[in-house]
Amino acid sequence: MTELADFQAGFAQALRAPDAALPPTLARLAAQPGFAVYRNTVMKACIDALQANFPAVARLVGDEWFRAAAAVHMRSELPAEPMLVLYGAGFADFLARFEPAAELPYLPAVARVDRLWSEAHVAADAAPLGADALLSLVPADLAQRTLQPHPATRWVWSEEHPIHSLWSRNRTADDPADGGPCSWQAEGVLLARPHGAVLTGPLTRAGAALLDTCAAGRSIEAAVAAARAAEPAADVAALIGQCMAAGAFCDIAQLCDNHREGSCQ
């Protein structure tokens, strides 16, 4: 098994780096003309997958720039699983340290939203939480429950960039200039897939704080407090309603009375 693992690691290295120092067996294999064809096929598949998985980034920088950057990225990260729709887990971090992207500081943030869309697209199915699930609870009981994010729900908040405007205009709009000039201010993005298609929309600072707290398994009371701490003037009831309408939650779990148990029942 060790020999096989070493061969596979060397084979992957030869795919990514034609001039890499290889053991004799792999060096002879890599020197064959057919291996160059295989290498080019793998590289094209990886570049095509990245371009499909990060369409907003590709639109912002253009095909030529994107494919050149994707070729560099491919040499450091090959697909880790057979579903190419999930290829590019490290692409946003790569862009953050990629020198040609230094003049586009918002590019990694846009890439992260593209990645979240892919994660939401392939996440597990679950029934979204309906509003009637809350109506039967008295306020005191409701406050100590938790709202569980749907498996396909993703969100991100950016203090530095208008991430929703940048991403949505370059992901879905026919013309990125639609809507006029982009106001440069902090923004968030909410992505949910309660049924078949991924739904997206803007998210406030309070909304991100609320979802972060829910994801940590804390009570609705704690989530409301976190949202108000992030934005004192936020209408938290409307915010919870917005998240529920988007299908961002999937269940209500009883908050543990005995925290020493370490888990909720």
Strand partners, 201: 190
In a domain, 179, yes or no: yes
pLDDT at 26 exceeding the cut of 90: no
- CA distance between the termini of the chain: 42
Average pLDDT, the chain: 87
Domain boundary among 122, 142, 170: 122
pLDDT at 264 exceeding the cut of 50: no
Amino acid at the residue 231: E
Bigger pLDDT: 9 vs 122: 122
In a domain, 109, yes or no: yes
Measured between alpha carbons, how far is 169 from 127 in angstroms, rounded to an integer?
30
In a domain, 209, yes or no: yes
Measured between alpha carbons, how far is 252 from 265 in angstroms, rounded to an integer?
11
* 101 and 133 housed in the same domain: no
Provide the domain count of the chain.
Answer: 2
Determine what percent of the chain is predicted with pLDDT higher than 90. Answer: 60
pLDDT at residue 257, rounded to an integer: 38
In a domain, 23, yes or no: no
* 140 and 252 housed in the same domain: yes
* 171 and 255 housed in the same domain: yes
* 106 and 156 housed in the same domain: no
In a domain, 4, yes or no: no
* 97 and 165 housed in the same domain: no
Q: Which domain holds residue 89?
A: 32-122
* 206 and 88 housed in the same domain: no
pLDDT at 165 exceeding the cut of 60: yes
In a domain, 13, yes or no: no
* 74 and 142 housed in the same domain: no
Domain boundary among 94, 122, 150: 122
Alpha-carbon distance values, 132 to 46, 52, 135, 222, 251 (Å): 46, 39, 5, 22, 12
Interhelix angle 2-16/33-53, rounded to 10 degrees, is 80
Show the tokens assigned to 108: 């990694």
Measured between alpha carbons, how far is 134 from 124 in angstroms, rounded to an integer?
24
In a domain, 10, yes or no: no
pLDDT at 255 exceeding the cut of 50: no
pLDDT category at 68 given cuts 50, 70, 90 is very high
* 137 and 227 housed in the same domain: yes
Domain boundary among 122, 153, 181: 122
pLDDT in tens, 107-161: 999 999 999 999 999 999 999 988 777 777 777 777 788 899 999 999 999 999 9
* 137 and 111 housed in the same domain: no
In a domain, 221, yes or no: yes
pLDDT category at 18 given cuts 50, 70, 90 is low
* 132 and 193 housed in the same domain: yes
Bigger pLDDT: 255 vs 93: 93
Mean pLDDT for the stretch of residues 208-230: 96
pLDDT at 179 exceeding the cut of 70: no
* 170 and 112 housed in the same domain: no
* 151 and 242 housed in the same domain: yes
pLDDT at 251 exceeding the cut of 80: no
